[in-house]
Amino acid sequence: MTGPGLLFVVSGPSGAGKDTLVDGLLRGSSGLKYSISATTRAPRDGEREGEDYFFLSRGVFEKGMRNGEFLETREYNGNLYGTPRGFIRDTLAHGYDVIAKPEVNGALRIKASFADAVLIFILPDKFADLRRRLEARRTETNAEIAARLAIAHEEVKSIRSFDYLVINADEQHEAAIADLRAILRAEKLRIHRYNDGRIQEIVTES
Ligand code: 5GP
């Protein structure tokens, strides 16, 4: 690996399918590490500590905030969520790429600290699919779904601050994952990612 890795931030409204796409992307991408967030939300069925999230009490989370352990935090629908700072810093420094999956405000906050971060917005091909997907997964009450949809309407207002838009249509997840892979690949090949030494190595005739 050469030089620091790249930070990719996949965001978009609840129900857009960020989890499915990021899971798909991580499969078979050995140089890409997932930044596990912390939350005060209770685990859903099947969610595992240290895999899906670090599930913290509000007290522990707030202590972490005071100690500067988070790159950004957000109160979302009554729970705190935060991106641990140390993991991203150390993993990028070791040359790995990192992918994080915050809500939209968190994505913008990360960009404020890491100007080089690549921001990718995920949407279904019809906004109405968000409600249907949230209802189908049966993990939130009707009131929570309504709150998430209200937040979604706010979130799309920031779409132009992102670098890429990936459409995650029903039954088309593989196409969306392929789009994400294409973005990652192209970003790695941008000319300013190559240091002068590497280019010199190529162009020097021996
Ligand atoms: P969920 O409760 O569905 O797992 O997540 C709710 C929202 O919080 C999602 O949009 C998710 O992307 C976002 N989220 C997860 N981790 C973080 C984080 O570390 N920071 C921020 N700002 N949002 C997060």
pLDDT tens digits, residue range 53-92? 999 999 999 999 999 999 999 999 899 999 999 999 999 9
- Is pLDDT at 1 greater than 80 in this prediction? no
In this prediction, residue 3 carries a pLDDT of 61
- Which pLDDT score is estimated for 28? 78
- CB of 102 within 6 A of ligand 1: the answer is yes
CB 97 within 8 A of CB 10: no
If we measure between CA atoms, which residue out of 57, 106, 58, 115 comes closest to residue 84? 106
Residue 116 lies in a domain: yes
Distance from residue 195's CA to the centre of ligand 1 (Å) = 35
| Index of the ligand 1 atom closest to the CA of residue 39 | 16
The CATH number that applies at residue 152 is 3.40.50.300
Give the dihedral of Cα atoms 53, 58, 59, 65; nearest 10 deg.
Answer: 70
pTM of the model: 0.94
Residue the block writes with tokens 């994952």 = 177
Whether the CB of 82 sits within 6 Å of ligand 1: yes
pLDDT per position as a tens digit, 127-168:
999 999 999 988 889 999 999 999 999 999 999 999 999 999
pLDDT, the chain, mean: 94
> Residue 67 domain-assigned?
no
| pLDDT tens per residue, range 3-44 | 689 999 999 999 999 999 999 999 978 899 999 999 999 999
In a domain, 111, yes or no: yes
Would 66 be classed as within a structural domain? Answer: no
Q: At 183, list the tokens.
A: 């973005």
**What is the residue type of 72?**
E
The set of residues, in sequence order, having a beta carbon less than 8 Å from that of 123 and lying 6+ positions away, is 12, 13, 16, 156, 165, 166, 167, 168
Two structure tokens written together for 42? 């209770």
In-domain check, residue 130: yes
133 lines ligand 1 (CB under 6 A): no
DSSP labels, 92-118: HHTT-EEEE---HHHHHHHHHH-TTPE
Q: Is residue 134 part of a domain?
A: yes
How many A from CA of 185 to the centre of ligand 1? 25
Q: Which atom of ligand 1 lies at the shortest distance from residue 14's CA?
A: 10
Cβ atoms 120, 10 nearer than 8 A:
yes
User: To 5 degrees, how large is the angle CA 130–CA 70–CA 188?
Assistant: 70
Nearest to 118 by CA among 181, 198, 200, 76: 181
Q: How many domains does the chain have?
A: 1
Whether 171 is in a domain gets the answer yes
**129 in ligand 1 pocket by Cβ < 6 Å?**
no
Domain with 158, as residue range(s), is: 7-35+96-203
CA distance 162 to 9: 10
Structure tokens belonging to residue 149 = 């949809």
Atom of ligand 1 nearest to the CA of 106: 22
83 part of a folded domain: no
Backbone angles phi, psi at 97, to 5 degrees: -85, 150
